[in-house]
Amino acid sequence: MTYGGGDAAREPQLDSQNTLKPRISTTTNQFGHAVSRISVTQILEATGFEHSYRRPIDALADVLLRYISHVGKLSVSYANMSGRIQCNVFDVILALEEIASVHGFAGQSDPNHSLSSSGVVLDLWRVVGKEREVPFAGSIARFPVTRSRQVETSQDTENEVEWGHIPDWLPSFPDPSTYTNNSVSNESSVPRKQMERPHFSFRKFFSVNGSDGLAPSGNTNVERENEMVQRNPYLVPPLPHRERQVSDMTIPSERKAVSVFETFAPVIEASGGEIVEERGVISSKRPAVRFRIGVGTKSMSKMLSLRDTGMKEDLWTVKEEEMDSKKRRAEMILKESMEKPNELAQL
């Protein structure tokens, strides 16, 4: 059988290197597809075809694989309907009959026909008995090939008892002493790695000045444990019920309110702005924002009317302390608008 490069009536598929490439399935089972392509080619040759193009063979190979999967799925469903998980020869025959029912087979109309002698079986018998046997070209190994997994053995599993009901791939049990209720004295039997206890006390953490409070001390394990029991406020036994002398609370003396000005003085000086302190409100001279206010707006019309009446100060002085800087800016805008009344029409 010869392969054609492509159909005469259709353009062949070109990839980036301008070479013809066969259209293979993009799924992971490319090996199965390649093997089925060989089988399809052999069947076509046995049927009588001398030549073929590549795409029909790929299509038939795909049909072959789908057919096998379809038969398997139907057989399994028939087996499950009968309450079994392993398939029977009659499950397979029923599945084949269902597929062949589209085309029709001998004895299909009889609802009580025996499965052993159904038309499907007879057709297969004809294939096996009479047709020329065409074995598969070459031999293939059993696939998919799975790598033998190496079981990881660690030190923990050396002393482990082998349980029959627990599979090997589960992690090993922890050391029994970690979860059994024993006294604290048997510290030596407990490896330090498994038992993680907090290594710092809160008092120590807060009492250290200017150094990293979280640094662990250089004590040994035993001393550290005793320390923990004594110093750890959470492990201290609760106070008995009685009156206690409580230390007086030290109220911090009244100091000056933190001035924002003092905090940001270097920043302001660096920017080179004027500093005006008004009860903690920092204001520096910012470049004036030029507003183009329309003629129709209320504020402008009001401003103009106030200008005539001479009551403009009342509009702007709401709170003198807070609005001082804003007042200055607004006055600037007002001056400009008064000097150039013609520009008001422009927006």
- Stretch binding another protein (CB under 8 A), from 61-69, 222-230, 255-263, 266-274: 61-69
∠294-299-300 over CA atoms, to 5°?
50
Q: Is 86 among the residues that bind another protein (CB under 8 A)? A: yes
Closer to another protein by Cβ: residue 125 or 205: 125
Q: Least separation, in Å, of the C-beta of 37 and another protein?
A: 11
The token pair at 141 is: 């190994």
Report 156-195 residues binding another protein (CB under 8 A): none
- Write out the DSSP string of 292-325: ---SSSHHHHHHHHHHHHT-HHHHH-SSTTTTHH
* 68 vs 267, beta carbon nearer another protein: 68
Torsion of CA 107, 108, 114, 117, to 10 degrees: 50
Report, in Å, the least distance between residue 24 CB and another protein. Answer: 14
- Residues 94-153 interacting with another protein (rule: CB under 8 A): 96, 99, 102-103, 107, 113-117, 120-125, 127-129, 133-136, 139-144
Residue with tokens 């009889």: 110
- Segment interacting with another protein, rule: CB under 8 A, options 59-67, 223-231, 240-248, 267-275: 59-67
- What SS3 class is residue 2? strand
- Residue 25 DSSP code: -
Size of site (CB under 8 A) for another protein = 82
| 280 neighbors 260 (Cβ within 8 angstroms) | yes
**Nearer Cβ to another protein (142/244):** 142
* 78 near another protein, rule: CB under 8 A: no
Give the tokens for residue 24: 């293979």
Closer residue to another protein (CB): 19 or 189: 19
DSSP 124-156: HHHHHHHSPP-PPSS----SS--PPPPPP--GG
Cβ closest to another protein, residue 120 vs residue 303: 120
